[in-house]
Every structure is written in C-alpha cells, then in structure tokens.
Structure 1
C-alpha cells in the first residue's frame, strides 16, 4: 500500500455535492493517508501527492500540468469537442467521414451548423444548409401533421436556453428576429445604464431575465446547430405517474486518464412538465416548450413526477415491438447497451478526430452528464454532453445514486493513480461499466 500522504482539496462549491464528495473520499481512502487541505499552499513539498476536486474555474491548472505523477484533478483543461453542441456536431461529422459504419451514425442526429450575428444575415448563413432547404421544400407539399420538424440549439448555452422548434424558413427567421438586439433608438435610451462591456447583455434585456426569450441575443451566441426533431418519442404508458410525458435519460460518464471511459449504470429519467403533443398540433405558433423540453431546470416547484431512476421504469411497455418492450425483451437493457456503444464511440471520436479540442490528460479525470432521447422505435439518440452536470436535479430521494457514483469514482480513478490498494478498473455490478480503453500515448 502507498505510504505517502495524499493531500486533498475538496471544494465543489455546491451544497448538494460537497458532503457527498467528502464522505466518498473519507470512506474510500485510508484514514492514515488522507489529509484535507484548503489549497496547494498547504502542501509540504512540490512533489506531494495532491488531489483537487473543485469547480473548473477554481482548479490549479499550473500544478496539474507540471505535476503529471503527483497531482490529480477532476477536470481536463480542454474538452469542448464534446461539451459545445456545435463542436460535438463537427466531431461526429468528422468521425463518420472516416468511419461511416460507426455506431454514432445510428445514435446522433446529423446537425446543420449555423453561424449568424443578426437575423438580417440569416439568408447568407443558410446558403449551404442544403438539408434544411430540402426539408422545407418537402414540407410545402405535406399536410401539417406530416411536416418535418427541426430543433434549434445554441452551441454554447445550457439549461435549455434558446432552444426552439421550427418547420419552415419563415419560422426560423421569426425566431432570430425575436432575438435581435434593441434598435439604435432604444440603445440610445439605455446607454447610461449599459455597463460598456461589449460581451454583456444590453440593459434592456439582462442575461438572467426570466422571460420567454431567456435573455437570448443572437450576437452573443452566434453559433447554433439545427437537428431533425425526434418525433414521436418513447412515452411511458399508464399507470406510470409520468405517463404520456416526454423524457430523456441522464447518463453519468467518467473519463479517466488518457483514456478510459465508463458509463454509470444507475441513470435518471427526466420528464417534461406537460404531456407530450406533436409540434404540428400547434400549427401557426411556436409549440409549448414545456411539453417538449425535459430540462428540469425549466420547471418550478418540487418537480413532482419529473425525476425517476431509469431502472425503476416499467420493463415492459405493453407494445408489440421487441425494441420497446414487447414479448420477453426488456427495452431498458437494449437502451443501456446502445448508450454504452454510443458513449464510447463519441469519446473516441473526440480524442482521435478532434484532438485539438479534446485533450485527455493522464493525471485527470472528469464526470460528464450525457443526455439521450429514446424514440418510439426504441433507439437512443445522443443529444448533448454536459461538463460539471447538475447533480442536484437527482433530488433527495435518489441521492444514493450520486453517492454511489462518487464512491466508484474514488475506486476507479483516484486510488489507482495514487497507488492505493483496493483500486479497481471497474465498479460493482451496478456501478461503472467500462466502454472504452484506448492509449493516446500521453504519459
């Protein structure tokens, strides 16, 4: 067993996560080796074993980069090939060009990237958006109920900000027009109240304003991705408490070193606030997003019925399709296998085809939150990859899920790095499942 002290700075700045991290570290690392510190200034020497588990902005990256065998951190420095929606779209596109039979072909909707500052320049931005133009042309001859819908996502936003649905060029244009900044006259009126920072939102629409537009201004986001909308989605039948409501699966993924990737088998099912209705049911108006967006941060109150343990969902959905639970098949097992396949492939794609924008380090690990949507045919589609996911959405009743995750991370990513006995390559039967193990040649 390692005899050198392990100095650990555990400061996650989150009242939900912090005690879980502390308890996991204390429970899994030997008491005689663990020394809790507030920052690196308390280390006795430059080569002391040091674990920092903090928010990204608070990490000591200088020490991380200079201490490849002594310092372990809970985040990579560069990983936007995965966590930025437009970068993820490019990552998948590049990987499929070289690997056309990759699993990502069947688990990521192809994206159309749009870069635009103001709505008046949208026409220019869409010149090469052939997929959109072809879809709009097909829609002209279709009934409302049969139209193809697209979902628009800002490349660098989170918490559901700026997501919209559209089925025509006119609808897309109206969306961007809503986000245009105030006119010159309005800016003059607000000039005295403006901070002067060109990256700040105009005073007339603060960035945190809680209105329908969520304070969106196109010129601040600039990068967008449009993807075919998944319709119809898989819905739970009666008598499930969230029957008829759209949901997505939140999957926690551990990337360790350079590079092993694990999927945490206990997952969450996050449900929309309102019963699902096809976008075409509100023809002529923007669909009610509360029925389409499953982000729990957009909901109020106690989120009753919005968060469930994935494996608590019914194994059989009473359908005739084997992919969604008909006969003896368990649709959940099929979906989990798809998630494992797509996750491993996505991380390898980022590491090999977008190495400038995803740089795994041998002395770092990171937890990501991947969101998957399951369609009515039982196919799991990767929607996005989140860094520093919101563990608090798990809630109090399912807190043990996060507790188990943190303990497994200590066993799988932290103990082996510091040479502590009891470290394992994989968690228990219901814990972390290894889905990729590749050597990127980084030491």
Structure 2
C-alpha cells in the first residue's frame, strides 16, 4: 500500500502471526499460497480469476474487481431505483436520501439533464417561486470523486448553473486532467438532510459516521464496531444566506485549515458524550440492517458487483444521523483513507486489520485463529448461503 500509515499497520499485524506470512513488496509470486494486499491498480485480475479455478493454488487478494454498483454514486443510485421498483417496502426507501442523477458534459446541457431529472427540476422551480414553506436544499456530488471533491449545496437551478459555469471556466485554464471537472460526466444530487444530530458537548458541530464494512469471498459481509465520528470544524448553521463549508462538510480532508486538533475532529462513536447506550445500540442496529439490505440486493447484480471466492475487501461506509436518530446511508468508498483516523485512534484500525486476519485471512489458508483479546470486533450481517 502506498500510504505509510496503512502499510505500517498491515505489516505489523501480519508479523504478529509467528512467521505465517512472508512479507515482500512484489506484486507477483510463484508460490501456491499467497496473500496480495495491494493497491487496486497493482492487482493482476487475470491471474486472480485463473487462480480461483485452480484447486492447487490458494491466492487471496484484498479487492474485488467489479464493484462499481456499490462505489460509483450514480451506479448505486440506479441500483437503488431498480431495487425499490421490485421491493417497494425495502428499508432503503427510508434510509437512503432522495437521489437524482445528472448526465452532464457541459453547463449548456443542464436544461436537458434536468428535464431527465424532472422531479428535481420541479422542486428547484418551486424553491424559486416560494411555493414551499421553506426552500428545499440539495447537495451535488461527482459520481466518481471522493474526499469531498466538488460538493456543493444549492437551492435553485440558477445556483447550479453558476457552479458549473464557474468550474468549467476554471478548467479551461487548468491543464491538470486529473483534477479537470470537464472529465466528470455523471453527477448525483441528493436532498440535503437539514436536521443532523447535534451534540451540545461538541459545540453542536455536525458529524457523520465512518463505518468499516468487510466483504469476503462469495459472499459474507461484516460490520466493524470500531466506528468513527467525523466532525465539522464549525457549529452547524442551517442558514441559506450565509453558507459556510466548514459548518456543513464533515469529511476530515476538508478540515485542513481547521483551528481544531485531531482529537476534536475524529472521535470513536461508542464513546461519544451526549448519547446514551440505548441510542447508540439503536443506531448500530440500523447500520447493520442497512448494510445487510444493500448487499442482499447487490449480490445478484453481477454486471455491477461481482464477489470473488478468493478475495476480500474493506469498505468505508458513510452514514448520517438526524435529530430523530434515524440513520441515512450516504456512500461507500473502497480503499478508505485510514490515516484520517489519526494517531490517537489508530488502535481502531489496528484492531480492524487484526479482526480481518483472524476471521477471514487465516481460515482461508487453513490456519486456526490465534487467541487475540480484541476490544472491537466484526459482526456478521449477511451470508449469501444462509439467512442472518
């Protein structure tokens, strides 16, 4: 792994297993028993698919190949639309914000994109005409970008047009293709949750939950109870006229210029003050149920999500809690940025990796689990072979 924070933790956890793993930096090996824990681009999926058919080789890798139905925001929104058409009573209707998809290659085509997303267009028009008691806000997200890139909160079509026009004009002067917004075609627009859970002990700063979800083989899914609460830098203000990004955006990477310390921005959910045990337990049960429902639907959608019997993957799922303690799924990320946890809570990531090694990797290679006294653990929420 290229991130030293993550790489050092993985190495130290594997080295705990009494020489069961021989660690090297090569992305190829002729051995019959190999664990590949690499960046996605470094994995040889042709070899991995061949190894899955070879009973004499045990190759285990840290990523599935096809999982865009989970990770790309537009693909996931389409999956939810399809799933709800078949299962209208699914909990995803209540726990996934209203979402619209915009296919937009240039600001000149925004009218056409909104004609396709006509329900969104009508709400934006109502916001202008003041036919609603209070304008309904939406948040724009690029389908394939992460780290809070290009997040934008708006109420009207005019605001959206201004955003895209400014961004495209800036990109005309930017030769960096990697950061060029004109390369992004798919966008999602979600109804913005205006009543987030706020805790006075933390100055009523908005926060979201980063939950680590582990999928293995074909297919079991676990939720890790070492959950992070990621806070905004400033107290939440639901004021249309004085929008401040640092009040609304809770991603750690967006807090670079924050005057607050790491310990104020990243906390462990189960130790948050201002929440009693019953509320915490209820929130965790909602999270597990939502994750189970997502994979219940995805496991049969092989064009957009294909588990592999010789692979596992760790995802970072983001959730928001509202003032009524209802949980909303926001998005999933592969190769989550573990270093956002910081140094003071690095034990959460170490124990995550230890759980993965104990419960998933060692059994795959026929080794018994070693006796680890871990405070945090993985909770099985979905097993394709049986009902949980």
Question: TM-score normalised to the size of structure 1?
Answer: 0.80
Distance 1:233 1:40, change over 3 A: closer
- State how far apart, in whole Å, the 2-side matches of 1:123 and 1:143 are: 21
Equivalent pair of 2:214/2:315 in contact (CA under 8 Å)? yes
Spell out the pairing of 1:57-206 with structure 2 (5 A cutoff).
57-68=41-52, 69=55, 70-140=58-128, 142=130, 146-181=134-169, 202=172, 204=174, 206=176
Matched, 1:312 2:301: no
How far apart are residue 130 of structure 1 and its match?
2.4
1:437 to 368, 373, 383: 383
| Superposed displacement of residue 110, structure 1 | 2.4
The equivalent position to 1:405 in structure 2, one of 331, 352, 357, is 352
Shift of 1:439: 3.9
Match of 1:369 among 306, 309, 316: 316
1:288 lines up with 2:244 in the alignment: yes
Among 10, 15, 36, which residue is 1:21 paired with?
Answer: 10
Are residue 253 (structure 1) and residue 213 (structure 2) matched?
yes
Q: Among 178, 199, 203, which residue is 1:236 paired with?
A: 199
Structure 1 residues 144 and 164, CA gap change in structure 2 (3 angstroms) = farther
Q: Which residue of 2 aligns with 1:422?
A: 369
1:39 aligns with 2:39: no
Correspondent of 1:388 among 335, 343, 346? 335
| Correspondence for 1:267 among 227, 247, 251 | 227
**What residue in structure 2 maps to residue 278 of structure 1?**
238
After superposition, give the CA deviation of every residue in 1:384-407 in whole Å (9 maximum; x if it has no partner): 100000000000000000000000
Q: CA deviation at 1:143?
A: 8.5
- Residues in 2 aligned to 1:22 and 1:429: alpha-carbon distance in whole angstroms: 20
Q: Distance in 2 between the 1:74 and 1:42 partners?
A: 16
Query: Do the aligned partners of residues 408 and 291 (structure 1) sit closer, same or farther apart at CA in structure 2, a change above 3 Å counting?
Result: same
TM-score after normalising by structure 2 = 0.91
Q: 1:439 and 1:428, CA in 2 relative to 1: closer, same or farther beyond 3 A?
A: farther
Provide closer, same or farther for how the CA distance between residues 42 and 72 of structure 1 changes in structure 2, counting only shifts above 3 A: closer
Q: Aligned with 1:396: secondary structure?
A: coil
Q: Secondary structure at the match of 2:205?
A: coil
RMSD: 2.4
TM-fit CA distance, 1:349: 1.7
User: Which of the pair has more CA radius of gyration?
Assistant: 1
For the 8 Å contact 1:75–1:365, the answer to whether it is kept is yes
Correspondent of 1:349 among 271, 274, 297: 297
CA gap of 1:280–1:144, structure 2 versus 1, over 3 A, is farther
Q: In the aligned structure 2, how far is the partner of 1:314 from the partner of 1:247?
A: 13
Q: Do 2:62 and 2:312's aligned partners in 1 also have CA atoms closer than 8 Å?
A: yes
Structure 1 match to 2:188: 225
Q: Given that residues 126 and 132 in structure 2 are in contact (C-alpha distance below 8 angstroms), is that contact kept between their aligned partners in structure 1?
A: no
Higher relative helix content: 2
Distance (Å, rounded) in 2 between the aligned partners of 1:16 and 1:111: 35
State the shift of 1:91 in Å.
1.3
Confirm or deny: 8 A CA contact 1:247 1:373 kept in the other structure: yes
- Name the residue aligned to 2:33: 49
The separation in 1 between residues aligned to 2:330 and 2:101, in whole angstroms, is 15
Counterparts of 1:207 and 1:294 in 2: how far apart (Å)? 27
Question: Offset of 1:180 from its aligned partner?
Answer: 2.0
Instruction: Give, in whole Å, the separation in 2 of the partners of 1:246 and 1:216.
Output: 30
Instruction: Check the 8 A contact 1:144/1:280 in 2, yes or no.
Output: no
Structure 1 stretch displaced more, 413-422 or 223-232: 413-422
